[in-house]
Amino acid sequence: MADEQKVDIFISGAGPVGLLLTYQLLRLNLTTHLVDAADKASPAFPMLGRASTLYPRTLELLDQLDLYDDLAQVGLVARRAVTFKEGKRVHGRGWTQFENFTDTYFDFSLNVRLKYSEDIFRRRIGELGGEVHAPVRLVGLELDEDAKDDYKVTATCSTLDGKTYRVKAKYIVGCDGGSSAVRKLAGIPFEGEDKEDHWVRIDGKVKTNMPDSRVGFGALESKTHGNVLFVALDHGATRIGYVLSPEMYERYGRKMSKEDAIREAKAAVAPFELEFETVEWHTVYGVKQHVAARLQDRERIFLAGDAAHTHSSGSAQGMNTGTHDAVSLGWRLAGVLNGWYTPEVLATYTTERKATAEQLIENDRTISALISQHKPGKYKDREEDTNTLLVEFMQSVGGFSSGLGIEYAANILNNVEGSSPPWLKPGQRFPDVSLQKNGLPRHPVRFYDVCKNEGKFHVVVFTGDVHSTGASLKSLRGHVDKLTPQFAHAVDFRTVVMGQGIPLAFEEYLGVKQFGDAYWDMDHSAHTRYKVSPDAGEIVVLRPDGILGFVAELDGFELVAEYLGRLIVPRRAEMNGTNGVNYQVGEHVGLDENNLYYQQAQEQAEQQGLPESTESGAIAVH
Tell whether 181 and 55 lie within a shared domain.
yes
Cα separations (Å) of 62 from 105, 212, 546, 618?
13, 29, 12, 41
**Percentages of the chain per state (helix, strand, coil), in multiples of 5:** 35, 30, 40
Q: What is the CA radius of gyration of the chain?
A: 26
Confidence of residue 428 (pLDDT cuts 50, 70, 90): very high
The pLDDT tens digits of the residues spanning 280-335 come to 999 998 888 999 999 999 999 999 999 999 988 777 788 999 999 999 999 999 99
Tell whether 297 and 397 lie within a shared domain.
yes
- pTM, full prediction: 0.90
Torsion of CA 558, 562, 567, 572, to 10 degrees: 70
Tell whether 585 and 471 lie within a shared domain.
no
Tell whether 495 and 592 lie within a shared domain.
no
- 219 touches 268 (CB < 8 A): no
Tell whether 78 and 153 lie within a shared domain.
yes
425 CB-side CA count, 13 A: 10
The pLDDT tens digits of the residues spanning 99-140 come to 878 899 999 999 999 999 999 999 999 999 999 999 999 999
Confidence of residue 606 (pLDDT cuts 50, 70, 90): low
Q: At what angle do helices 16-27 and 318-337 cross, to 10 degrees?
A: 30
Question: DSSP string spanning 251-311?
Answer: HH-TT--HHHHHHHHHHHHTTS-EEEEEEEEEEEEEEEEEEES-SEETTTEEE-GGGTEE-
- What contacts 24+ positions apart, CB below 8 Å, involve 139-147? 139/164, 139/181, 140/185, 141/172, 141/181, 141/182, 141/185, 141/186, 141/301, 143/298, 143/300, 143/301, 145/298, 145/593
Positive/negative CA dihedral, 201, 205, 207, 213: positive
| C-alpha span between 94 and 221 (Å, rounded) | 8
Residue 582 has pLDDT above 90, yes or no: no
Q: How distant is the alpha carbon of residue 597 from its chain centre?
A: 27
The pLDDT tens digits of the residues spanning 532-580 come to 999 999 999 999 999 999 999 999 999 999 999 999 999 865 443 334 4
| C-alpha span between 219 and 119 (Å, rounded) | 29
Q: What is the CATH number of the domain that holds 455?
A: 3.40.30.20
Would 304 be classed as within a structural domain? Answer: yes
Confidence of residue 195 (pLDDT cuts 50, 70, 90): confident
- 605 touches 578 (CB < 8 A): yes
Residues 6+ apart with CB under 8 A from 44: none
Tell whether 68 and 122 lie within a shared domain.
yes
Would 307 be classed as within a structural domain? Answer: yes
Tell whether 505 and 601 lie within a shared domain.
no
Would 327 be classed as within a structural domain? Answer: yes
Q: What is the CATH number of the domain that holds 138?
A: 3.50.50.60
Would 24 be classed as within a structural domain? Answer: yes
- 337 touches 350 (CB < 8 A): no
| Averaged pLDDT for residues 41-56 | 84
Tell whether 301 and 356 lie within a shared domain.
yes
| Number of independent structural domains in the chain | 3
Tell whether 147 and 296 lie within a shared domain.
yes
Greater confidence (478 vs 615) lies with: 478
Of 379, 402, 425, which closes a domain? 402
Of 361, 386, 402, which closes a domain? 402
**Percent of the chain whose pLDDT exceeds 70:** 91
Q: How distant is the alpha carbon of residue 147 from its chain centre?
A: 32
* Pairing state between β 238-244 and 190-208: antiparallel
Q: To 5 degrees, how large is the angle CA 183–CA 187–CA 190?
A: 60
Would 222 be classed as within a structural domain? Answer: no
Tell whether 469 and 612 lie within a shared domain.
no
Residue-number span of the structural domain to which 622 is assigned: 577-622
Query: What's the chain's average pLDDT?
Result: 90
pLDDT computed for residue 51 by the predictor: 87
321 CB-side CA count, 13 A: 31
Q: What is the DSSP letter of 378?
A: G
Would 170 be classed as within a structural domain? Answer: yes
pLDDT computed for residue 2 by the predictor: 63
Of 540, 565, 590, which closes a domain? 565
| Averaged pLDDT for residues 151-175 | 97
- 90 touches 211 (CB < 8 A): no
42 class by beta-carbon count within 10 Å (0-12 exposed, 13-18 middle, 19+ buried): exposed
Would 418 be classed as within a structural domain? Answer: no
Residue 377 has pLDDT above 70, yes or no: yes
Would 197 be classed as within a structural domain? Answer: no
> Partners of 583 in the beta sheet?
576
Confidence of residue 381 (pLDDT cuts 50, 70, 90): confident
| C-alpha span between 213 and 222 (Å, rounded) | 17
Cα separations (Å) of 36 from 12, 89, 159?
6, 45, 10
Residue 515 has pLDDT above 70, yes or no: yes
Q: To 5 degrees, how large is the angle CA 112–CA 85–CA 53?
A: 10
Tell whether 558 and 600 lie within a shared domain.
no
Tell whether 300 and 381 lie within a shared domain.
yes
- 613 touches 619 (CB < 8 A): yes
pLDDT computed for residue 314 by the predictor: 74
